[in-house]
Each structure stands twice: as C-alpha cells, then as structure tokens.
Amino acid sequence: MNGSCESSPAPDCVTDADCLAGETCVNGFCESSPAPDCVYDADCLAGEVCVNGFCEVAGGGSGMTAFLGFGAVDTLSQTVEVTIENSDPVAGFQFSIVADSSFSITGAAGGLAEANGFQLNVGAQSGIILGFSTSATFIPAGTGTLVLLSYAGYTLNDVCLGSAIVSAPGGVEFTVTLGSCITLPAFDPGDVNRDGMVDVVDVVELISAVLSIQNPTPNQLVQYDLNLDDSLDVVDVVLLVEIVLYGPLGRIDSTFNDSSLEMSGDAVIITGNDNIAGVQLSVSGEYQLDGSTLPADWEMHTSADKIILIHVGTSYTDQLAFGYTGDLSVDGGIVVGWNARSVVVEASVNHPAQVELQSAYPNPFNPQTSLQFSLIEPTQVTLSVYNVLGEKVATLKDGPMNSGQHQVTWDASNFTSGMYFVVLNAGGERLMQRVTLVK
C-alpha cells in the first residue's frame, strides 16, 4: 500500500455458511445481508416482480410480461375462456388446469391462438394445454381471449390455472402472472340442459338419453343420473318428473316394493302393490302399440328396443294396461314406485283353456259396456252386435287377434234403448250373449 507491499487479510469465508446469521459471503468476507425488498409481487413497483426477496424488472430483465386468467364460463356448452394480457408478441404458451378428478379438459380451440394459426394440444394424462406457432405469425401484444377450453364433469371446488410458461419469438420467456381461481356456477339436480330451470325440456332430454335416441355428454351424465347408480333408466326419469312437479326430491309417501307384468291377448298389464310412477320395458318383434287405455296423466315413449311409461300428473294408479297388435316380445323390465324403489319384472303369458265370451259389464248399461273374451290361439275374430230383428247394427272387431284375454268397449250412444245380441265368431266357435241398453 502506498508503494509498499503488504500482506492481504485472510478471507473470512468461502460460502454463506461460514458467516453469522444475517450475513452473506462477499468476495471472501462476511457482510451484513441487505434487508429484503419484498415478499410478494405486490410489494414491488409496477413492472417488477419479487425474486428471492428483491424486486426485479419483470421478464428477467427483458421487460416482457403476460397475465393469464379465466374469462366467461358457459355451463350449457361446457366451455371456459382463458384470457391473456401480453406486453409483447407471443410465439408459444403452455399451462395446466388444477382441479379435482371429477373435472377434466377435453379440448382447446378458438381465441387468439387459433386466429393466429397456433397448433393446440391438450395432454390426455397431464392436462397441460400447449399452443405454439407453426409459422411466422404470432399473437400480437394486447388483451383478449387466448383460447376456449372445453370441459367435462363438474366440481364444487375451485378450478385454477397452474404451471404457466409464455414464450416470445426466439424462446425468450415472459414473466407470467396468473389470475384468480374460479368456481363453476351451481346448477339444480335435473337441470340437464343447464338453462337454470328444471322443466319438461329436461324430462324429454333425459327420456331420449334412456331410449338411446341421443348420446349424452360426460357432463350431462352427471346431471342425468339422479339416483347416483351410474346408469340411466326409468328411475332417473321418475325422480326428474317428481322434481318438476313437487320441487327438489320431495318424494310422495309410498310402500311400493313389488310388481308383476302379464301379457294377455293383445294387452300388457302391469300391476304394483302401491302406486306406480314409471315403467321401462325391453322389447323386440314387429308390433304396433296402442296407449289409449293408459290412465290419465301417463305418457308412452318408445324406441326400437324400449318402451317407457311415465306418470306426469297427479292421478295415481297401481295398475297400467296398454294394447298392441302384431308380434310383441317383452324381454323384461323395471317398474318403479314414487319412493324411487324399482322392481325387475319378467312377463308372464296368460293362456286361456277355451274360447269364451264373458258376461258384459255393466248390463243393463248406458251408454257403454265392456265386452271381454278369451282366445286359446291366434285366430280370425269377428265381434258383432245384432238387434232383435237379427240385423247387424255394429261390428266391434273384425281381423286377426292373438291368444289370451281381450276387452272391447261398445259405445251405444247413437242407439235406441232395447235388447241387443253380441256375437263372437272365433276359432270355429260362435258365442252369443244378450245385453240391454237403457236410456
């Protein structure tokens, strides 16, 4: 020093660990550590971020910043926007979606990414959304919708953005800030089309799904499966109708726990030990159905291999019957009561021992009477009415009919009071009985 040689002082340290608490090793000597500038980005000035306790210019000195956040959520189309605010052109990006296992991203499209020719990919396992330019076209600096994500499932927990990287041309990274998490809008059980209402539109959509007329999306399956048994059937339809009629699952008291299914002649008869709410049958064959004998407030819906009967009103019954012509085979079914309890049923076929014309009821009558008859095999049938002069005044049936029990109603509103004769010709038999119309 001052032209003279002096010994250099021995170093205090090699690493920070050689120093006291609150000191750092600088050029071999322990010095007091400067107080940190920040804990969070919010502690720094605009355009700066907090890095290891000290504020630095965002973008690692490049000054490039990007903000990613969520935009609009459309629960009907099951999409959510991811927005971007970027200080410089963007050549590529990737980010992940953090949510529980009941929620997943199924696709990415649209937005500034697609408008600028970006290749978009969604990792099936990782859930990472990746977008990059395959040309010299980049996302310009500014603000807008980066991409529109399609999702499946539903979660009551937060959905968040995570692990985000945004790159400029040349591979220089932006400093990325992420927006807040979101919570998906709530919906009512049974609101299958997510329009905020539970009504007949939802019932129609659910029935179409049960009949396989339309294939529900994974998100709709969550909505449709009201009894949470991982299958769609008439039980879910009954519960949905109950919501529409009475509010959220306000079940009617019911002791339903047993049912039977009988095929008799040209009729299918379903009987329960308490009021029936719905029926689903698996069927096959070439046939035509006649639902005119169903009680009031009942609807019939069909597909190639299923029949659904559903109660949509307030008049209750423990027995249903509908007619058919042709070759109908019922391979089994489900009958459900208003307590949401279902019973699996198999068809039993009633085979009469002889051709028989049962007594009309009522008799005397005004103006209608019910005529019942049984056939031991499929045959040509004529059921006619004659007056006391032997003149045919009405033909009630004329054509082929199946074996079993049959019922026909004669409406004599346009006939005068008096005595008439009902004649059944079937299977080589001719049977007759007398009825009296009293007005």
Is 263 inside any structural domain?
yes
| pLDDT tens for each residue of the chain, 439 residues long | 455 566 667 777 877 778 877 777 877 778 776 777 777 666 777 656 666 677 765 545 567 999 999 999 987 678 999 999 999 999 999 999 998 887 889 899 999 999 999 999 998 777 799 999 988 899 999 999 999 999 877 677 889 998 899 999 888 899 999 999 998 776 666 777 767 777 777 888 888 888 887 777 666 676 778 777 878 888 888 888 877 776 654 445 678 889 999 887 678 889 999 889 899 999 988 888 988 888 888 889 998 899 999 988 777 889 998 988 777 888 889 998 887 788 999 876 656 778 999 888 899 999 999 898 888 888 999 999 999 999 999 999 999 988 777 888 899 999 999 999 999 999 899 999 999 999 9
238 and 344 share a domain?
yes
Q: Where among 57, 75, 90 does a domain terminate?
A: 57
Is 11 inside any structural domain?
no
The answer to whether residues 121 and 108 touch, using CB atoms and an 8 Å cutoff, is yes
Place of tokens 């927005």: 83
208 and 300 share a domain?
yes
406 and 270 share a domain?
no
Residues 6+ apart with CB under 8 A from 105: 97, 122, 127, 129, 149, 150, 151
Predicted pLDDT of residue 250: 44
The answer to whether residues 275 and 317 touch, using CB atoms and an 8 Å cutoff, is yes
Cα separation of 259 and 403, whole Å? Answer: 23
The one-letter amino acid code at 51 reads V
Predicted pLDDT of residue 159: 92
Predicted pLDDT of residue 51: 64
Predicted pLDDT of residue 251: 47
Helix 200-210 crosses helix 234-246 at what angle (to 10 degrees)? 180
392 and 286 share a domain?
no
84 and 152 share a domain?
yes
269 and 389 share a domain?
no
Q: Which domain holds residue 43?
A: 16-57
Is 136 inside any structural domain?
yes
The answer to whether residues 280 and 233 touch, using CB atoms and an 8 Å cutoff, is yes
298 and 378 share a domain?
no
Beta bridge partners of 276: 337
Predicted pLDDT of residue 267: 83
Q: Where among 292, 324, 350 does a domain terminate?
A: 350
Residues 6+ apart with CB under 8 A from 381: 375, 397, 398, 399, 400, 401, 424, 425, 426
Question: CATH number for the domain including 78?
Answer: 2.60.40.680
Distance between terminal CA atoms of the chain? Answer: 141
206 and 220 share a domain?
yes
Six token digits for residue 51 = 């890095």
